[in-house]
Amino acid sequence: MRLITIFISGLVFGIGIIVSGMVNPAKVIGFLDIFGAWDPSLAFVMIGAISVTMVGYKLVLKRDVSLFNLKFSLPTNTDLDRKLIIGAVLFGIGWGLVGVCPGPAVVGFLVAPKPLGLFLVSMLVSMALARRYMDRVR
Amino acid sequence: MNDYLIALLGGGLIGLASVILMASQGAVMGISGIVSRAISRPTSVTAWRLVFIAGVLAAPIVYSLFANNFIALEITENSVLLVIAGLFVGVGTVIGNGCTSGHGVCGLSRLSARSMVATITFMLTAVLTVAAVNYLSGVN
């Protein structure tokens, strides 16, 4: 039952990415192109997502454990350190280069397997290497 | 329906998904973290992550069954650019501990200062990258 709920969560996320237009890299680039032909519509995706999450989290986190009796695991790190900034800068460069971030890449994979497959394989390899490196420096 | 309302509705669904995941698994919906942990530590603890990814992969199939408009997806076919972008995104999300969904949606909803800083940083960097690419390719 828990896994079915999680599958539905993934499904709803994916449909949200499709409906909102986030799945389309050209639209994402249009949103990021504020000095050019700016398309501000994707800002409303953030507004919609954040308002629902904010209210929903408040309600859900009133409980002590999840509906399936699991502990809530929320990030506890509060350091505004160099890693956070460097990581965000690198992520921003990659995102801006082709207009793809991890969620939409997985959502769109079956629609455009060749370009998104290349992106995803490269992303997965670099994630694995970065994770190994981070484990070593820690 | 107009573009803004559709974007708002789509965003609402993304938010709903994050609430469902928190209510069931008790976890934050950060796609980069879910994907990278699913591949790096394939144990029984990661099973839920694989199930979540399966749901995400199934979305375009389910969407196509019910909607009669097709999924628009315009993306560069430049392989080198795609690989470079993937490298940056992969390394960046691991070092910075999150992407658009984790920091941008779940983190901002919890008013996390880390996520606020990360989101502003990657938005600015992405805006500058798009401007630079346009400038170099002579679009603007």
**Residues B91, B96, B98, B100, CA torsion sign:** negative
pLDDT score, position A110:
97
pLDDT of residue B72: 87
Contacts of A79 (CB under 8 A, 6+ apart): B114
3-state helix, strand and coil shares in percent for chain A, rounded to the nearest 5: 70, 0, 30
Cβ–Cβ of B36/A127 closer than 8 Å? yes
How far is residue A66's CA from residue A48's CA, in Å, rounded to a whole number?
A: 24
The answer to whether A103 and B31 have CB atoms below 8 angstroms apart is yes
Query: pLDDT of B56-109, one tens digit each?
Result: 999 999 999 998 888 989 999 999 999 999 999 999 999 999 999 999 999 999
How far apart (Å, rounded) are the C-alpha atoms in residues A56 and A72? 14
pLDDT given for residue B3 in this prediction:
86
Query: Which chain B residues contact residue A129 at CB under 8 A?
Result: 91
* pTM exceeding the 0.90 threshold for the entire prediction: yes
Which tokens belong to B32? 């980069």
Residue B39 has pLDDT above 90, yes or no: no
* Domain ranges within chain A, ordered by starting residue: 1-137
**Domain boundaries defined on chain B:** 3-137
Mean of pLDDT values over B11-27: 98
Q: Is residue A132 classed as helix, strand or coil in its secondary structure?
A: helix
Percentage with pLDDT > 90 across chain A: 91
Mean pLDDT to the nearest integer, A72-99: 95
**In this complex, which of B11, B113, B129 lies closest to A96 when CB atoms are compared?**
B129
Do residues A13 and B58 touch, judged by C-beta distance below 8 A? no
DSSP chain B: --HHHHHHHHHHHHHHHHHHHHHHT-B---HHHHHHHHHH--SGGGHHHHHHHHHHHHHHHHHHHH-SS---------HHHHHHHHHHHHHHHHHHT--IIIIIIIIHHTT-HHHHHHHHHHHHHHHHHHHHHHHHTT--
Give pLDDT, residue B132: 96
Residues B14 and A13: beta-carbon distance below 8 Å? yes
What mean pLDDT is predicted for residues B2-21?
A: 96
Are the C-beta atoms of residues B17 and A9 closer than 8 Å to each other?
A: yes
A67-94: average pLDDT: 95
ipTM score assigned to the predicted complex: 0.96
Q: Closest chain B residue to A32 measured between Cα atoms?
A: B127
Q: Which of A90, A116, A129, A137 to mutate to test the interface with B (most CBs of B within 10 A)?
A: A90
How many CA atoms lie within 13 Å of B127's alpha carbon, on the beta-carbon side? Answer: 14
